[in-house]
């Protein structure tokens, strides 16, 4: 399949790119810095060098799947929402599948409350909470969208670089493994996304994955 | 003030344009058909002839206020959401004030439930329900937006062309007048919007207005 990855040189994006490449898909890195992408993925890798907000519909119309792995700084965290809205507007009533990497903030805790409220209690949360807050806004927006084939993916509380390990999959609740950890490695996330791309099971909904 | 009105030749837009013009504001019609606007508002009226989705930030950056009175057919009702998202993305962390004409569907009935569920029960609702449904989605999206100075305005159950009459203003609940009618004339809506433009009282919220 032809898969475009926005933010392919980031933590999530690069793992997804490599997983897609390894499985033999036609993967294209959509990034601001082509040289960085070529360095990470090889000279022969396919790259579109463009700021995500400069992308036109024609840049993206030939993809079967677009993965939005865009990352930004907390002071511009609203760009998560704006990019989701831009992609949704491009693909209204079309078959292109859109994947959005959402944070853990929109997941629910055991009491059925949004995990964002628990995340806020972390001592250093002020410096980064805008990211999961805006990813929650992004999810709220996506839930209103019925005529685009979108999928949201939430990692656990901690997202870190690392190889894929066996995974636990869930739906709307924050998951913990047997060691009471809620951690998702970039490799585990990438594998779950490529599995879902190859065997579509989720439509207009969000799922979550953590390291077992 | 310099006020841009998207969809200025429509029912709501034209009443708002005329009310602004009459009050001496620098009103600009942003429309697909300049000739139609000139015919409605006079040869000397200011017009930007552009499809709303072709507007760039630079087309709109000189306005103090932009009124989104965009209208479309029910089969493309999602464009209400997409245009709101486009305008919001343009004016993140800026002072430009954005007004969105929302339908009555997002208002609450006496039981505190969304009026959209009551509207759906109308015998002919299938032919038009997509409009208030998407205006509700638009409102849900707007409620997540904290760094744009937006205001939503909902008319009553019936919106019709007509001169301004004394008004009843409200917040989130569907209003009825003494004759148990929930009707808003275009003139009443326009007057309420210009009052709010001249004396800002509502920020990042929605209000409603009906004919007394």
Structure tokens, B169? 């203003």
Give the pLDDT band (50/70/90) at residue B196.
very high
CB contact under 8 Å between A85 and B141, yes or no, is: yes
Q: How many CB atoms lie within 10 A of CB B195?
A: 16
pLDDT 10s digits, B140-189? 999 999 999 999 999 999 999 999 999 999 999 999 999 999 999 999 99
Beta bridge partners of A100: A68, A152
**E strand or H helix that includes residue A41:** helix A34-41
Residue listed under structure tokens 């989720």: A202
**Interface membership of B78 toward A (CB under 8 Å):** yes
The enclosing domain of A87 has a CATH number of 3.40.50.720
Residue A166 domain-assigned?
no
Residue A70 domain-assigned?
yes
pLDDT at A55: 98
pLDDT at A180: 97
What whole-number distance in Å separates Cα of residue A145 and Cα of residue A105? 20
The interface predicted TM-score (ipTM) is 0.91
Nearest to B65 by CA among B116, B4, B114, B150: B4
Alpha carbon of A33: minimum distance to chain B alpha carbons (Å): 23
Give the 3-state secondary structure percentages of chain B, helix then strand then coil, rounded to 5.
35, 25, 40
**Interface membership of A92 toward B (CB under 8 Å):** yes
Q: Which residues of A touch B140 (CB under 8 A)?
A: 140-141, 144
* Ranges in chain A, pLDDT < 50: none
Q: Which residues of B touch A144 (CB under 8 A)?
A: 81, 137, 140-141
> For A78, which of B78, B137, B147 is closest by C-beta distance?
B147
Residue A88 domain-assigned?
yes
Residue A64 domain-assigned?
yes
User: Which chain B residue has the Cα nearest residue A79?
Assistant: B89
Residue A42 domain-assigned?
yes
> For A147, which of B78, B86, B141 is closest by C-beta distance?
B78
CB contact under 8 Å between A137 and B147, yes or no, is: no
Q: Which residues of B touch A78 (CB under 8 A)?
A: 92, 145, 147
CB A199 within 8 A of CB A162: no
Q: How many domains does chain B have?
A: 1
Q: Which residues of A touch B82 (CB under 8 A)?
A: 85, 88-89, 92
pLDDT at B161: 97
User: Which chain A residue has the Cα nearest residue B89?
Assistant: A82
**Interface membership of A94 toward B (CB under 8 Å):** no
pLDDT 10s digits, A149-168? 999 999 999 999 999 999 99
Output the CA–CA distances (angstroms, integers) from residue B26 to B2, B19, B40, B98, in the order listed: 5, 11, 16, 16
pLDDT 10s digits, B28-67? 999 999 999 999 999 999 999 999 999 999 999 999 999 9
pLDDT at B151: 98
pLDDT at B45: 97
> For B141, which of A86, A144, A147 is closest by C-beta distance?
A144
Structure tokens, A96? 């292109």
pLDDT at B149: 98
Chain-centre distance of CA A26, in angstroms? Answer: 18
Most distant CA pair in chain A, distance? 49
CB contacts under 8 A, B 142-201 vs A, are: 144-145, 147
Domain that holds residue B150: 2-211
């Amino acid at each position: 399949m032809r898969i475009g990855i926005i933010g392919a040189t980031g933590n999530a994006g690069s793992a997804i790119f490599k997983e897609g490449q390894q499985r033999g898909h036609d993967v294209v890195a959509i990034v601001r810095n082509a040289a960085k992408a070529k360095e990470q993925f090889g000279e022969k890798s396919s790259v579109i060098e463009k700021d995500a907000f400069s992308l036109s519909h024609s840049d993206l119309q030939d993809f079967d799947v677009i993965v939005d792995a865009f990352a930004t700084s907390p002071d511009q965290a609203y760009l998560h929402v704006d990019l989701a809205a831009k992609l949704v507007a491009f693909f209204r009533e079309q078959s292109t599948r859109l994947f959005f990497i959402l944070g853990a903030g929109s997941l629910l805790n055991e009491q059925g409350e949004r995990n964002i409220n628990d995340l806020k209690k972390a001592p250093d949360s002020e410096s980064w909470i805008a990211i999961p807050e805006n990813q929650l806004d992004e999810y709220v927006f996506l839930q209103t969208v019925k005529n685009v084939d979108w999928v949201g993916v939430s990692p656990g509380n901690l997202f870190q670089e690392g190889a894929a390990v066996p995974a636990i999959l869930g739906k709307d609740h924050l998951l913990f493994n047997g060691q009471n950890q809620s951690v998702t490695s970039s490799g585990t996330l990438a594998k779950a996304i490529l599995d879902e791309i190859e065997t579509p099971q989720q439509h207009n909904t969000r799922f979550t994955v953590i390291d077992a």
